[in-house]
Structures are given as structure tokens and as C-alpha cells.
Amino acid sequence: MATIQNVVSTCKISQNYINLHDIPEKIKNAHYNPTKFNAAIIKLDEPKATILLFSSGRFVCTGTKNICDNKTACENICRLLDTTCFSEYKIHNVVGSGYVGHCIDLIGLANTHKHIVQYESEIFPGAKIKYPNSKATALIFTSGKIIVTGLKNEAEVHAFYNKILNLVHNNIY
């Protein structure tokens, strides 16, 4: 079973312009340095999340472990900004990971499934699995660790993870 590691979403608050220089004074754990990044970075404790707030009123919410916490973090940032609503809430990525409990032969996996597996150990220590016509990607490591990304909800993460488990089954040692 995959464990959800990160949910990334975007939203827009009702204000069309935010003076980002004021954000660190208004919100605890907020930082803004326009010479480094053109957004205020806000760390929330509950739920644990990071918000990248842009002057347009758009923001990115990342770092939550499930979609419910992600939406709650978006609601919390709106309260902190003294605005009551947000719109255009969209999940962009749900990342999951798991461990098969054994090592995986990445060379064998790549040789068996050349059409969907890329493995170049000199460039990256893991194999990349990408199915045609799918936005989902899996990273497989010799240690047995599997990371799945590019999906929009938790059910898709679990289904894709199980598909990957079936694919690597014959290459476990």
C-alpha cells in the first residue's frame, strides 16, 4: 500500500492584489524576499503545509499528507489573510511512496519492459516507469522503494502503485 507523501494544489483568493511586503508582519512564519523568489512563503503548523503566495492572490499549497488537509490549509490561509473565500481550487499532484520489502533488479526490469522503463544508472540511481498516454510516473529504486507521482487523487495513487507492484513482481530478489 502506498503512503501519501505530498499533495500540491493551487487556489485564488478573492483579493486581486496583495502587497507581499506586508505578509511577514501579518502572518507568523511568513517570509518574503523578492530578490530570491517572487512570492511570500508561509509555513503553516496545522495542518502542516507550505503556501507560496503571489501578489495576484494566487497561491500554491504543498506539503500536506492528504487532500482534506490540503483544502483545510487553503481555508486557513484565507482566514489569515482576512478573506472569506477562495476559488479555482485545483489539485495538481498527489505523490505516494511505498516499499516492497525486498531489492529490485532494475537492469532486469528495464530489459523486460523497454517500452515503458528508463534506467541509466550513471545519470540517476532509479528506474523511471512511464506508460504511454499517462501523466503518472513511478520511480523505482534497487532498495525496493517506489515513488509514484503525477496523479490527481489518492485512489489513483493506490491503483497506480498496485499496477507498478505487479510490474516489478518478477524482478524482486
DSSP, residue by residue, the chain = --EEEEEEEEEEES-S---GGGHHHHSTTEE--TTT-SSEEEEEETTEEEEEE-TTSEEEEEEESSHHHHHHHHHHHHHHTT---EEEEEEEEEEEEEE-SS-B-HHHHHHHTTTTEE--TTT-SEEEEE-TT---EEEEETTSEEEEEEESSHHHHHHHHHHHHHHHGGGB-
> Would you state the cell numbers that stand for residue 58, as one nine-digit string?
494566487
> For residue 1, is pLDDT > 90?
no
5 touches 95 (CB < 8 A):
yes
> For residue 157, is pLDDT > 90?
yes
| Each residue's pLDDT tens digit, 57-84 | 999 999 999 999 999 999 999 999 988 6
| Each residue's pLDDT tens digit, 119-137 | 999 999 999 999 999 999 9
User: What pLDDT was estimated at residue 53?
Assistant: 97
Record the pTM: 0.91
